Amino acid sequence: MNSENWQALYEQVCAHARQTALLASIGALLGWDERTMMPPQGAAYRAEQIRFLAGLVHRQRTDPQWGDLLARLADSPLMADPQSEQAITLRRLKRQYDKDVKLPQKLVEELAQTASLAQHVWQEARRQNDWKSFFPWLEKTFHLKRQQAEALGYPECRYDALLDDFEPDTRTAEVARVLSELRDRLVPLVERIVGSPRKPDSSLLRRYYPRDAQETFGREVAAAIGFDFTAGRLDVTAHPFCSGLGPRDCRITTRYNEHSFPEAFFGILHEAGHGLYDQGLPEDQYGLPLGEPVSLGIHESQSRLWENLVGRSWAFWQHLFPKAQQYFPQALQDVRPEAFYFAVNEVRPSLIRVEADEATYNLHILIRFELEQALLEGDLQPADAPAAWNEKYRQYLGLEPPDDAQGVLQDIHWSAGLVGYFPTYALGNLYAAQLFAQAEAELGDLQAAIARGEFRPLREWLRTKIHQQGQRYLAGELMVQITGRPLSPEPLLRHLEAKFLPLYEA
């Protein structure tokens, strides 16, 4: 077969992948609408819609003719250069196809429908502090996720199969090793900080911050770091998220609390960081591996970088605090910028993950990582999850949730079937610190640029190094490519020590 014929087959493969992405994007739009606009009474029929569409997407992804094309091309001359666009595309598509064909159609549809219904039950259960109403759905979800893991197969443990959906080619044992190393260094650092007599006045963050002003201010800052509102939007939801629905259509969400400034503001920064990644992917590659994010851990690195390494830095508030005072004169007119900076960087063991500070956040992730492994392996029964959750919080953070709404019911992930997702948050923090340190080394005085409100150099560095690469590299390979070394807890620990010890031990 000549080169023109191989190229024609390759174009067929790409057309099929793009059509599949088109279908999947419709499903993502249904999911966005479900969590932002849909009336509660629409839940049952929406679950049917999502089940039906999930089935269509799965049939498209497992089409035998497409599989035959991928198999033929796997040994073609197009694979001669392993780093060529064609070779990377075919290699990644073949890997995903080989996974998808292992999953029964009925299981895929049931997983999608269950996740849709369970999220609505979870939302009400959390509001009502009603564990009993959610418990059957948690039980069903983990029953289905065990079936998924068994269908996919795994090298060492069931969790490997599910983790691979979010962090490809990453093993549970590898993540556990990195997080254990982080925990062993983090716990004494947190104890040292918390034991300091110096404390910020965090009450100033609980003054009255009008919702409308929070939204306007948040939108302005998101736009300043580069989020394009002509190709995206900001809405309200129970649990903030970012959804890339296709080229030039990225939806971010937040939730507002008029007596908690950080909740919405840092939520917007976080989701805008995700949005910058989605908006920075190559549009001409949408639906193909080179137009898709590397992994959720790398995706999370972008949100945590903008939320924490930029958004909670002294340089950032040197630039932004005068503007914050203009938006919230009643709350901030008598506040010094140094006091505000200290307040938004308070280190205090807390119950709620999404409100946790930089230093204690990863302990929240370790708790969830350990619990969902036990639930998946059957070492922990769903009925015992609340008690196990509370015990972990006593063990890691010295706190006990007063109720399940602030405990086992606080996160949407298990209701959405996102088992294996949680560790990507901690990986994201590690990636973010290592990437930011490299950006500082290459860009010069990055803090001075941030203090001037110049975010473009950092944004373009991230776009070039990460966003525009798509899935050219796996996450671990990408880190070595950019920073010259594998993922390590050291950059994050150095960042935390350099930031918090002067604040708390000055």
Question: In one letter, which amino acid is 359?
Answer: A
C-alpha 215/C-alpha 49 separation (Å) is 32
Structure tokens at 301: 């690195």
* Sheet with 242-246, edge to edge strand ranges: 232-236, 249-254, 242-246
Considering 271, 300, 358, 372, which one is annotated as catalytic? Answer: 271
Question: For residue 355, what is the DSSP state?
Answer: G
Residues 6+ apart with CB under 8 A from 234: 215, 218, 219, 222, 252, 253, 254, 268
Residues 6+ apart with CB under 8 A from 206: 259, 260, 261
Angle between helices 385-397 and 361-377 (to 10 degrees): 150
Task: Name the helix (H) or strand (E) containing 439.
Answer: helix 423-443
The answer to whether 271 is a known catalytic residue is yes
The Cα angle at residue 134 between residues 133 and 135, in degrees rounded to 5 = 100
Strands 242-246, 232-236: pairing kind? unpaired
What number of other Cβ atoms are within 10 A of residue 480's Cβ?
13
Question: For residue 209, what is the DSSP state?
Answer: -
Residues 6+ apart with CB under 8 A from 156: 171, 172, 173
Note whether 375 and 417 are within 8 A (CB): no
What number of other Cβ atoms are within 10 A of residue 486's Cβ?
11
> Distance of alpha carbon 451 from its chain centroid, rounded?
27
Note whether 254 and 221 are within 8 A (CB): no
Q: What are phi and psi of 236, to 5 degrees?
A: -110, 140
Task: Name the helix (H) or strand (E) containing 91.
Answer: helix 85-100
The Cα angle at residue 297 between residues 109 and 177, in degrees rounded to 5 = 105
C-alpha 198/C-alpha 8 separation (Å) is 68
If phi over 0 gives left and psi between -120 and 50 gives alpha, with beta otherwise, what is residue 444? left
Strands 242-246, 249-254: pairing kind? antiparallel
How far the first Cα of the chain sits from its last, in Å, is 72
**Residue positions annotated with a catalytic role:** 271
